[in-house]
């Protein structure tokens, strides 16, 4: 019986490992395929797209960078970093107020904030375009920054609020007894205790802002504020015959997000489980 039990555990472990390897292949193969095709010539790409390149053309990355990817990366990095930072600060402070401070109409404010989750961006496109044109924000970096921040705050508050609800209130009382203000309690106690969910929302917001296409396409007209997704689409239309160069640009666009996820995956899973599961 002991031998059979061990055999059963061994079979289950083997099946689990086989499933994990299969999932890894499914996830990693498209990335590897894109990298190898970025290092080929057009003839090689169309002749045998699934083979390794006969000559590794690293200059394709330089060509893609010089054809505008460098400017697109700078715009996307600046926009992603600023939008994520502002979203995190506003959302963390809002979640703290909605969970740790007794304010009038607390539940009403919570419903209003979370109602933003039900607002689809496509529904607001026409009035937003007219509003931004009237305010001089259309086709500007600051206009995109406002959009990226405003539409990410409700979801971020939702996750942070769920996480902070489970934090012990004794820490607030102890801080108050020690003479700490609300701001000091937030910055020195609650925010450090909420770092798992903060890390999770940072990853989610960075991914969303980095890959966002709809706002970047509609609210810009190609005058120097194009983000990576829009810029790559424009580059593909201009270099339709130079697919390896386009693939090189796609690799440069995807690589930072892959690195970010692998670096933050431990905090991401922990924070997401704490924020959604409570």
Residues 6+ apart with CB under 8 A from 195: 267, 271
Burial 149-172 (b: 16+ CB within 10 A, else e): bbbbbbbbbbbbbbbbeebeeeeb
pLDDT for residue 277? 47
pLDDT, one tens digit for every residue, the chain (278 residues) = 556 666 667 777 788 888 878 887 787 788 888 888 888 888 888 888 888 888 888 898 888 888 888 888 889 999 999 999 999 999 999 999 888 887 777 778 778 877 777 777 888 888 999 999 999 999 899 999 999 999 999 999 988 988 888 888 888 888 888 888 888 888 988 898 888 889 889 988 998 999 999 999 999 886 678 898 888 888 777 656 678 888 888 888 888 888 877 777 666 666 555 544 44
Token pair, residue 41, equals 């010539």
Chain centroid offset of residue 150 CA: 15
Say which residue the tokens 């409700």 belong to: 154
Global confidence as pTM: 0.82
Nearest to 247 by CA among 45, 29, 25, 27: 45
Burial class (CB within 10 angstroms; exposed 0-12, middle 13-18, buried 19+) of 46: exposed
Q: How far apart are the first and last CA of the chain?
A: 41
Helices and strands counted in the chain (H then E):
15, 0
Q: Which residue has the tokens 């509003």?
A: 131
At 171, list the tokens.
Answer: 């820490």
Buried b (16+ CB within 10 A) or exposed e, 173-183: eebeeeebeee
Helix H or strand E encompassing 39: none
CA 242/CA 50 separation, integer angstroms = 17
Q: Which residues contact 87 (CB under 8 A, 6 or more apart)?
A: 148, 149, 152, 153, 156, 201, 205
Query: Which of the 8 DSSP states describes residue 224?
Result: S
CA separation for the pair 264, 266 (Å, rounded) = 6
Q: Identify the pLDDT of residue 66.
A: 86
Model pLDDT, residue 90: 94
Query: Phi and psi (nearest 5°) for 168?
Result: -65, 135
């Amino acid at each position: 019986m002991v031998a059979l039990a061990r055999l059963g555990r061994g079979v289950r472990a083997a099946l689990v490992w086989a499933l994990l390897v299969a999932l890894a292949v499914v996830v990693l193969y498209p990335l590897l395929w894109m990298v190898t095709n970025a290092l080929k010539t057009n003839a090689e790409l169309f002749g045998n797209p699934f083979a390794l390149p006969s000559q590794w053309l690293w200059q394709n990355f330089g060509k893609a960078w010089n054809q505008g990817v460098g400017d697109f990366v700078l715009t996307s990095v600046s926009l992603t970093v600023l939008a994520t930072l502002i979203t995190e600060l506003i959302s963390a402070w809002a979640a703290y107020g909605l969970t740790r401070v007794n304010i009038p109409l607390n539940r009403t404010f919570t419903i209003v904030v979370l109602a933003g989750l039900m607002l689809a961006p496509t529904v607001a496109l026409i009035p937003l375009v007219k509003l931004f044109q009237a305010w001089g924000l259309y086709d500007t970096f600051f206009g995109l920054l406002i959009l990226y921040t405003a539409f990410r705050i409700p979801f971020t508050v939702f996750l942070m609020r769920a996480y902070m609800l489970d934090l012990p209130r004794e820490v607030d009382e102890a801080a108050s007894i020690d003479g700490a203000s609300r701001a000091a309690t937030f910055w020195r106690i609650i925010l450090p205790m909420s770092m798992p969910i903060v890390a999770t929302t940072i990853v989610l917001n960075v991914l969303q802002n980095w890959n966002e296409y709809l706002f970047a396409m509609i609210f810009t007209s190609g005058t120097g504020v194009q983000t990576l997704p829009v810029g790559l689409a424009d580059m593909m239309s201009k270099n339709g015959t130079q697919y390896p160069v386009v693939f090189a640009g796609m690799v440069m666009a995807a690589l930072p997000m892959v690195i970010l996820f692998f670096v933050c995956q431990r905090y991401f899973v922990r924070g997401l489980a704490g924020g959604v599961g409570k």
